[in-house]
Amino acid sequence: MPIYRERRFYKKICSCGCCNRDYASRRRGGNAITFGKNIRAIATYLSVVQCMPYERLQSLFATMFNVSISQGTLVNIVREMLDKSRPAIELIERLIRESAVVGFDESGCYVNGKLNWSWIAQTVYLTLVFRDSGRGAKVLEDRFGDSLKRMVAVTDRHSAYFAIDFLNNQICLAHLLRNLEYLNDIDKE
């Protein structure tokens, strides 16, 4: 059951004309309801990590938590969290650029009914996930530039990875194993 807190803010106008208030004035047109850090964290996690659409998120909050929250508010929460996360994202991206071995993969996802690609760049300690409309080599070249030339890339056998001038390329062993298991499954003799 959600906990609602009513907050009252007072102001006093001094005899000298100075207005004293115990809060910063709200933005014009702002919402009178604010959501706590737990709701903001759950909404961001489910939207960004689990790729849950806003309509489904809205339904989940209403059904499971008895919290009425608009899709627009959910969008605003995720955008605010992205803005707060930018310094960390930039640090992760810089550290990946400096890494000697980086694993890359991509997977299709739909955004507003159009096919996009969710890209992953990963080291032993870091993971960067980003979305782009393309699946070609240009996506990684635009994002990581000349640092690709100093990396050993661990990838599947998607042709885009072989069009990039990496220091070296290692085929992902998990992908090779999956391919071998597939071949074994189709050869029943």
pLDDT, one tens digit for every residue, the chain (189 residues) = 667 666 666 778 888 888 887 665 555 555 567 888 999 999 999 998 888 999 999 999 999 989 999 999 999 999 999 999 999 999 999 999 999 999 999 999 888 889 999 999 999 999 999 999 999 999 999 999 999 999 999 999 889 999 999 999 999 888 889 888 988 888 776
Alpha carbon 104 to its chain centroid, in Å, reads 16
Is residue 93 exposed (0-12), middle (13-18) or buried (19+ Cβ within 10 Å)? middle
pLDDT tens digit sequence for 30-42: 556 788 899 999 9
Question: pTM score, two decimals?
Answer: 0.71
- Each domain of the chain, given as residue ranges in start order, spans 98-189
Strand duo 11-13 + 152-155: pairing: unpaired
Token digits for 157?
Answer: 């056998």
8 Å CB contact between 44 and 38: no
Count CA atoms closer than 13 A to 166's CA, side-chain side: 23
Number of Cβ within a 10 Å radius of residue 143: 17
pLDDT tens digit sequence for 114-137: 999 999 999 999 999 999 999 999
| Predicted pLDDT of residue 114 | 92
Q: What torsion do the CA atoms of 22, 26, 32, 33 make, to the nearest 10 degrees?
A: -80
Q: Which residue has the tokens 């100075």?
A: 18
**Furthest-apart CA pair in the chain: how many Å?**
97
